[in-house]
Amino acid sequence: MGERIIIIGAGQAGLQIAESLRAEQFEGEILLLGEEGVAPYQRPPLSKAWLAGETATDKLTLRGPDFFAAKGIDLRLGAHVAQVDLGARQVTLAEGETLEWTGLAFATGASARLPKLKGADLPGVCVLRGLKDAREISARLGMAKRVVVVGGGFIGLEVAAAARKKGVEAVVLEAQDRLMARAVTPRISEYFADMHRAKGVELHFGAQVAGLEGSDAVSAVTLADGGVFKADLVVFGIGASANDATAAAAGVACDRGIIVDACARTSVRNVVAAGDCTVFRREDGVMLRLESVQNAVEQGKAAAAALMGRSKPFVATPWFWSDQHDVKLQMAGLSGGMDRQIARSQGEHAFSLFNYCGETLVSVESVNRPGDHLLARRLLDAGLSPAPDQIADATVELKSLLR
C-alpha cells in the first residue's frame, strides 16, 4: 500500500485537514469519513440565519462534488468507525471493512449534552448540533406556540431569537445568575438580557430543571423548586462533550477531549486531531477546549502540516461570534483573569468593551462593531496593549494603535 491518510470526521476540521494536505503537496490517498449522510456543511448558521428562515440549506454546503473529484479526496458519507487499531494502523468500519493508513486524523467533533432526566426521551425534546437536529427543531417551531429553551448560552439564545422571529413564545431557563456566563463578562450578559426581554423572551435565572412532563409529546418542564413551564417544544442548549471515545479506546491520550499540542499532534506518532474533539494544555497547565470555526480551520491546517512532518503551531488569538435578534456579538481573546474594563461606544446598541488584566489587554467584546472586532484581533495577535485612556478616547483611531 502507498501512502494513505484517513480522516475520521467530515466536518469543518476534517475538510480543512484534507484541503491542507493537498496544499502541502501530499500526493497519496486521502480518505475522508463522515458519519452524516450529507457533504461537509457550515454548522454555525443552523441556530442563526438558517433556523430563522433567512438562508437556504444549499447555502450551507462547504464544498461541492466537483471539488472532491478535482482534489482527489475520497469522501465517504454514512461511514461509522467501529474501531481504530494503532498498532496495525487500521480503521475498521461498522459494516466490517478494514482500511489501512500511514497517517490518521481525528476530527470527530462534539455531541450536544442532554441530561438524564425523566421525560428527556419524549418527542419534542431536542438538542441542536447538526442539520438533522435543526430540521426537527424548525419543523416543530412551525407548529409550536411556546418553546422552552434550557440554557442561556449562545445556542439557546440564538434558538430563542429565531423562535421570536417566527412569532413563537420563548422562555429561557438558565441555571446560573446571568446569560452566557462562561463566555462573556457581566456587562455583556446584562445588555443581552435587556435586549432579549425587549424582544419578548422570558428569562429565568437559577433555574434547575428536574424533569419533563408529557404523554405522547413533551408538554412542560418542571424545576427543582416546583416551578412548571408549559411547552410545545423544549430545546436543551447546555453545552457539548467532545467525541473522543474512539480515540480513547484506541489508546490516544484524552482528557474530556483528545489532547493535542499547538501543532495538533496527539500522544501517538502520525496521529493528529483537530476541531471540537480536541483539548489543548496551556502553559499554565489548564486544559482548554475551543469550539469555533476558527479553531477547526487553524487546527486543521496545523494537523495537515504535522502529518507532512512540519510544525505549524496554531497561535492566533481565538475569536467567536453570535447573532441574536438584530444584534451581532463578536469576541476576541479570552476574558479569564480580567480585572479592568474600558468601554468604547458609538451609542447604546453599538459598543466594545476592552478587557485588561493589569496593564495587559486580554480580550475585546464588540456589539454591532465589526470594525472594532477585526482591529482587536490584530492588536491581540501582535501582543499590543494600548493604554486604557487611549481606548476610552473616541477621537483616537484604533488603527493608529497598531503602529
Strand, helix or coil for residue 303 = helix
Nearest to 45 by CA among 109, 103, 130: 130
Q: How many CB atoms lie within 10 A of CB 241?
A: 15
**Using CA atoms, how far apart are residues 316 and 299, in angstroms rounded to an integer?**
10
Q: How many CB atoms lie within 10 A of CB 182?
A: 9
**Using CA atoms, how far apart are residues 162 and 47, in angstroms rounded to an integer?**
8
The pLDDT tens digits of the residues spanning 183-227 come to 999 999 999 999 999 999 999 999 999 999 999 999 999 999 999
Task: Give the number of residues written for the chain.
Answer: 403
Contact predicate 327/180, CB 8 Å: no
Structure confidence at residue 285 as a pLDDT band (50, 70, 90): confident
How high is the pLDDT of residue 1? 62
Bridge partner residues of 294 (DSSP): none
Pairing of strands 209-214, 218-223: antiparallel
Say if residue 261's pLDDT is above 70. Answer: yes
The pLDDT tens digits of the residues spanning 241-253 come to 999 999 999 999 9
How high is the pLDDT of residue 81? 98
3-class DSSP string for 149-193? EECCCHHHHHHHHHHHHCCCEEEEEECCCCCCCCCCCHHHHHHHH
Pairing of strands 4-8, 360-367: unpaired
Q: Of the ranges 4-18, 261-275, 295-309, 335-349, which one carries the lowest mean pLDDT score?
A: 335-349
Contact partners, residue 347, CB within 8 Å, separation at least 6: none
Q: Which domains does the chain have, with CATH numbers?
A: 4-111+240-307 (3.50.50.60), 114-236 (3.50.50.60), 326-402 (3.30.390.30)
Contact predicate 94/82, CB 8 Å: yes
Interaxial angle between packed helices 293-307 and 12-23, expressed in degrees from 0 to 180 and rounded to the nearest 10: 40
**Using CA atoms, how far apart are residues 74 and 71, in angstroms rounded to an integer?**
9
Residue 339's Cβ-count burial label (10 Å; 0-12, 13-18, 19+) is exposed
**Using CA atoms, how far apart are residues 359 and 362, in angstroms rounded to an integer?**
9
Cα–Cα–Cα angle for 323, 277, 240, rounded to 5 degrees: 50
Rounded to a whole number of angstroms, the CA Rg of the chain reads 22
Q: What is the mean pLDDT of the segment spanning 73-99?
A: 97
How high is the pLDDT of residue 346? 80
How high is the pLDDT of residue 159? 98
Q: What is the mean pLDDT of the segment spanning 29-35?
A: 97
**Percent of all residues in the chain with a pLDDT value above 90, rounded to a whole number:** 92
* pTM listed for this prediction: 0.94
Mean pLDDT of all residues in the chain? 96
Q: What is the largest CA-CA distance in the chain?
A: 66
Kind and range of the H or E run holding 401: none
The pLDDT tens digits of the residues spanning 359-398 come to 999 999 999 999 999 999 999 999 999 999 999 998 999 8
Q: What is the mean pLDDT of the segment spanning 314-324?
A: 94
Contact predicate 210/200, CB 8 Å: no
